[in-house]
Amino acid sequence: MKRTWLKCSAVPLAVLVSASGATALRAQDQSSSQSSAAPAPAPEKKPTVEQRKENQQDRIASGVKSGQLTTGETANLEKKEAAINQETRADRAANGGKLTAAEKAQVHQQQNQVSKQIYADKHNANTAHFGNNKVGQRRENQQDRMAQGVKSGQLTAEETAKLEKQQQGINKQVAADRKAHGGTLPASEKKQVNREQNQASRNIYRKKHNASTAGNAKPKQ
């Protein structure tokens, strides 16, 4: 009886094993096929006009903070950014608050040119050397405050260009005074520079705390 049962049950058991094995193999093939098919990469989203503007300001702020951008270079870059911003505002005003596709393309082309200029200015031989003295430390402090204002959006491109122009004027005066006195500044010249930096400091504070901010309102693209 025992042998008969084994002989009778052997066929159904083999069939079951074969069927279950085939099912498992089909499931494995399907799983392997699904896993091997890599998902299609999502298309890169083009940055908006406002995002592009913020990115440029962040790069300028980094260059000011590190000393890679001089006051003259920064003033020139911010002047270009201010011109783009003014043009963008005028275009939006003429089109009910929006930019046309052609206008967006134009802005991106202009920002591409400024982007190249930022890179060139940050990687040329001109750097801001502040000097290990009170005059140099005061100058560095002013640049750090402006860099923070640019980064946070408290300073617009227009405001930053004017502030950097003011610092550039002070730096030229200091360089001329040092050249005229064998590389050093007399006490009277140091007092004069300090007074001018006090005025510049008040300007920085006022412009960082007024109603004008960079990127405060973000229009729909």
The mean per-residue pLDDT over the stretch 4-32 comes to 50
- The residue with greater pLDDT, 37 or 18, is 37
Q: CA-CA distance, 78 to 70, in Å (whole number)? A: 12
The mean per-residue pLDDT over the stretch 43-48 comes to 80
Please report which helix (H) or strand (E) contains residue 126, including its range.
none
Q: CA-CA distance, 190 to 172, in Å (whole number)? A: 14
pLDDT band at 79 (very low <50, low <70, confident <90, very high): very high
Nearest to 106 by CA among 64, 50, 61, 49: 49
Percent of the chain scored above 70 by pLDDT?
78
Q: CA-CA distance, 33 to 62, in Å (whole number)? A: 48
∠ CA 195-208-148, nearest 5°, is 90
pTM: 0.75
Q: CA-CA distance, 161 to 156, in Å (whole number)? A: 9
CB 170 within 8 A of CB 139: yes
Q: How confident is the model over 182-216, as pLDDT tens digits?
A: 999 999 999 999 999 999 999 999 999 999 887 64
Those residues with Cβ within 8 angstroms of residue 111's Cβ, 6 or more apart along the chain or in another chain: 52, 53, 56, 84
Q: Between 157-180 and 187-208, two packed helices, what is the crossing angle to 10 degrees?
A: 180
Residue 12 burial (C-beta neighbours within 10 Å; 0-12, 13-18, 19+): exposed
Percent of the chain scored above 90 by pLDDT?
71
The mean per-residue pLDDT over the stretch 42-46 comes to 73
| DSSP codes, 2-53 | HHHHHHHHHHHHHHHHHHHHHHHHHHHHHHHHHHHSPPPPPPPPPPPHHHHH
